[in-house]
Structures are given as C-alpha cells and as structure tokens.
C-alpha cells in the first residue's frame, strides 16, 4: 500500500501478523509447528520486530524470532538466513520475509553531544563511514544514468511498462494477497499513464540533462509485508506439506557503496553460479525489485536480458517500496509465476543502500 494510504495507522506487526496467519492456514499447519520467524525490517528503529510479529500472529511463546536489517535486502536476506537454519538443523519449519510500516516509522534525531545543543532530525542514517562514499541513492541513480547515457525517455518507458504490466496482471496476482484490514483493498498505486503525461512529470534528480530521473522512474514509499514458509523434507513428510518449490541457491554481496544499483546484478550472477545456471536466459522467470528504472535497465544489461523478460506483472516501480519487505515481495511474486510450470527455475534479486545486493534461485517442485 502507498505510504500514507490504507495502512497508515498500522504498526509493522499489525501489517505482518495477518500475512503470517494466512500463510500458516494455507499450508494447513498448526501454529506450534513453527520453530522460528525471521523478519526483515529497515525502519523500525530498534527492538525486535520479528518477536512482535510472531506474538501478534499467535505463534507459540517458544518460537524463536530473528530480525534482519540489511535495508532493501532485508526481506530476501531473511529467507536466505532461514534456509541456513534449516540446513544446520536449528529448525524444521521457519517463516521468513519482511515488513515495513513506513507510514508509522519513528522520527529520527541525532543525540546532542552537549547540554546546550538540540537534537537534529535526519531522514536516513549513514551507509558508509566515509561521507564521500555514502552516496544518496537518488543522486547515485542520476549519476549512473548520465555516465551511461540512459535517457529520461528510456527510464520513463521502462517505468510505464512496469505499471502497465501490474494493471494487466492485477487479477492474476489476487491469490498472493492477504486482506490485512477487515475489507478487501486494492492497491491503487499501479496505473496506466499516457506517455505525454509521463513526459510532464517533475524531475527528481539530474535536472537539465537528457538523462534526468523523473518521479515516475522512482519506486514510491510503501507499507507492506511478504512472507514464505520453509520446511525440511522430514517436516514436510510429518505434517503433510506439499512443497511448491525448492531452494537452489542464494547470495548476499557487497560492491562499491557509490554505485549501489550494481549490487543486484552481482548477487544474481553469484547465485546463478552457485546454482550451476549458465546464464539468465536459462531462467523461466526473473523478479527484480527495481527501486529506480535506471537500476532495472542496468540489471537487464548486466544479465543479457530484455526489460520484457523481468517482472512479468510489474516490479517495484509499480508496487512501491516497503523497504524491509521488498526483497520478499519479489520472491513471492517469483514463486507465484513459477507455480504453474513444473521444474521451472527462477531468480529474485534486490539491491540495497550502501552497496549491497541479495538474490535467490528457486525451482518448482
């Protein structure tokens, strides 16, 4: 949901708990079978959001709860960590994903060094210790676009296609959605926009250049949650769970903090290498959380894909960016698109502030 929209009064656990409950119900599992909940969250400002979600969802008091903050990569990194818990024998059934209540995120202020100083508000923390390397994500997108000749027209065209796919695929995606509030709601953010109107939308960065970044080419702030259930084979056998997919490989990587949008492609390439996949052309579906159109275009170029080969029903530009959940949303979308194809293999990827990336390769059972 868009920031300030239908979820504006809800805290993170209030958004996430119904999603977790629906996931357990769909799997046909009693709540007490869940050993651990791993939850990505970027804006909660401390505490343990995963524990809040677990208790609000009615999971047992004995359920372990791990919170993950790798900013935009949090939701997908949480799933990768859940795989590690299963593989190491620390858990048999894990729920993992992410949530963000951006509309309710705490106000941030610096703590004064001296009694006569006042706290200073700030929008985001530092993501690199050297200020020269701590690029603002929007400015980094604009600089990359100008350096590589990615025009505003190319960016806006990519963004318009994302919205068009999301609008066209709305009915196909309904099974992935959970009614968090009492009445079913439709996300009004994806929309059909005429190219002429897109061309008149304001410039957000890079003003005065042909490669400027418009507001259309940026993923909007959003509230939301997405989770998946993972289980060992013996747990599936015991509880009668029919697996829909299996995990092939995951990757979490870093790159130069000045160029954060490169990290998604780097993570994807490493995950494909670990899964022994020769190239992205061998994948049946690819989901990228594209926070910027520039990032989506760079990702496609790096992996040798056309923009039409990713984000079948629109990406982050159409859905918005619930930071801690965005990577998990991409994975849920991927699993839904692969579900109808036996033995199909797909990739989900996301990049995060500070020059980090995450990716996962899954295959339908």
Measured between its terminal Cα atoms, the distance across the chain in Å is 31
Closest among 362, 365, 358 to 342, alpha carbons compared: 365
Coil/strand/helix, residue 317: helix
Residues 349 and 365: their CA atoms lie apart, in Å, by 21
Q: What are phi and psi of 249, to 5 degrees?
A: -165, 155
Region 209-233: mean pLDDT is: 95
Strands (E), 185-284: 203-205, 213-214, 223-231, 245-254
What would the pLDDT profile of 121-171 be if each residue is shown by its tens digit? 998 899 999 999 998 899 999 999 999 999 999 999 999 999 999 999 888
* Tokens read off for 362: 């899954």
Summarised one tens digit per residue, pLDDT across range 80-109 is 999 999 999 999 999 999 999 999 999 999
Mean pLDDT of 63-90: 97
In 3D, which of 177, 351, 323, 334 has the Cα closest to residue 247? 334
Nearest in space to 362 (alpha carbons), one of 224, 341, 301: 341
For range 260-285, the mean pLDDT: 96
Residues 6+ apart with CB under 8 A from 259: 135, 140, 144, 355
């Amino acid at each position: 949901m868009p920031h300030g929209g239908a979820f504006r009064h809800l805290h993170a656990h209030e958004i996430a708990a119904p999603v977790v409950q629906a996931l357990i119900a769909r799997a046909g599992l009693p709540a007490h079978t869940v050993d651990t909940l791993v939850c990505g969250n970027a804006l909660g400002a401390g505490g343990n959001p995963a524990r809040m979600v677990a208790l609000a969802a009615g999971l047992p008091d004995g359920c372990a709860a791990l919170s993950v903050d790798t900013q935009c990569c949090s939701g997908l990194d949480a799933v990768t960590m859940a795989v590690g818990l299963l593989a190491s024998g620390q858990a048999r059934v894990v729920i993992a994903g992410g949530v963000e209540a951006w509309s309710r995120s705490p106000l941030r202020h610096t703590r004064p060094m001296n009694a006569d100083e006042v706290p200073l508000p700030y929008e985001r923390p530092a993501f690199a210790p050297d200020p020269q390397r701590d690029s603002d994500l929007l400015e980094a997108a604009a600089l990359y676009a100008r350096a590589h000749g990615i025009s505003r027209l190319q960016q806006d065209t990519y963004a318009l296609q994302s919205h068009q796919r999301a609008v066209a695929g709305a009915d196909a995606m309904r099974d992935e959605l959970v009614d968090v509030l009492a009445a079913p709601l439709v996300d009004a953010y994806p929309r059909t926009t005429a190219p002429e109107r897109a061309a008149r939308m304001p410039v957000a960065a890079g003003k005065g250049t042909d490669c400027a970044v418009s507001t259309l080419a940026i993923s909007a702030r959003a509230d939301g949650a997405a989770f998946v259930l993972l289980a060992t084979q013996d747990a599936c056998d015991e509880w009668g769970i029919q697996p829909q997919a299996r995990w092939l490989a995951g990757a979490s990587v870093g790159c130069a903090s000045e160029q954060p949008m490169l990290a998604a492609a780097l993570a994807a390439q490493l995950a494909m290498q670990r899964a022994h996949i020769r190239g992205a052309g061998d994948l049946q579906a690819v989901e990228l959380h594209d926070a910027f159109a520039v990032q989506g275009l760079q990702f496609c170029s790096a992996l040798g894909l056309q923009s039409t080969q990713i984000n079948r029903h629109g990406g982050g530009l159409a859905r918005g960016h619930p930071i801690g959940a965005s990577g998990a949303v991409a994975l849920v979308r991927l699993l839904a698109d692969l579900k109808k194809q036996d033995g199909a293999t797909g990739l989900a990827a996301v990049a995060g502030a500070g020059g980090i990336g995450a990716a996962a390769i899954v295959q339908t059972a």
